[in-house]
Every structure is written in structure tokens, then in C-alpha cells.
Amino acid sequence: MKILMIDDDPNVVETVSLGLQMRWPEAELVSTHLGEKGIEMVKSEAPDIVILDLGLPDIGGLKVLEQVRSFSNVPVIILTVRGEESEIAKALESGADDYIVKPFRQVELMARMRALMRRQSSA
């Protein structure tokens, strides 16, 4: 399983990486802190799932999501500090498959990833 993480906080990337190593040692995590690079990596890396932050330094996460949705149905989990109902609704309506607000619980993130992967593989 390959996971692409698009997040500009190295501590969050490290936390997710450690969780993945414990839960799915065979998983490969690739990451970038830039939205534009993340879009390219969805194409070049063909990840099984994407974890996307909304606050990126170059372009907004919703723009990344919209561009990814123009060519891919890869499952996308938004992982962000933005917890307003309007932000959550906007992301889900723009094509996100799930939405988790930081700070997040590691076990919950892994369970949500597993659920999305299960749905994707049975489709």
C-alpha cells in the first residue's frame, strides 16, 4: 500500500509515518509539503490513498483536491486544523472522502484509512 501525504507540518508527517510503521509495516509513505507537487505525485506515484492538509504554502488544499478529482478517484482524507462546519462541508462536496480535524487520534486515522481502502477494493 502506498500513501501520499500532502502536508507542510513535518511533525504531523512524522506522527503519521510512525503510526503507519506500527500498523502497516509494509506501507510506503511518500510526502510533499507543496500542493502543486502533490498533484504531480498523485499522477506519478499512483498512491492508494491521499492524506491532504488544507493549509499549504503554495496553493490551497481545496484547489489540490479539485485538481486531483479532475483525473483521479483515489481516496482522499482531509487532515487539517480547520474544524468549521462550512469548511468540512465544502471539502466533502469538493470530493474528499473523509475529514479529520487536527489534533487527531492515530488509531482513528488508521481505521478510517482501512475503511476507505476496503471500500475502494470492493468497488
List domains and CATH numbers for the chain: 2-122 (3.40.50.2300)
Alpha-carbon distance 24 to 34, whole Å? Answer: 25
Encode pLDDT of 40-92 as tens digits: 999 999 999 999 999 999 999 999 999 999 999 999 999 999 999 999 999 99
Encode pLDDT of 96-123 as tens digits: 999 999 999 999 999 999 999 888 777 6
**Which pLDDT belongs to residue 119?**
83
> Read out DSSP for the chain?
-EEEEE-S-HHHHHHHHHHHHHH-TT-EEEEES-HHHHHHHHHHH--SEEEE-S--SSS-HHHHHHHHHTT----EEEEES---HHHHHHHHHTT-SEEEESS--HHHHHHHHHHHHHHHHH-
Alpha-carbon distance 39 to 42, whole Å? Answer: 5
The one-letter amino acid code at 10 reads P
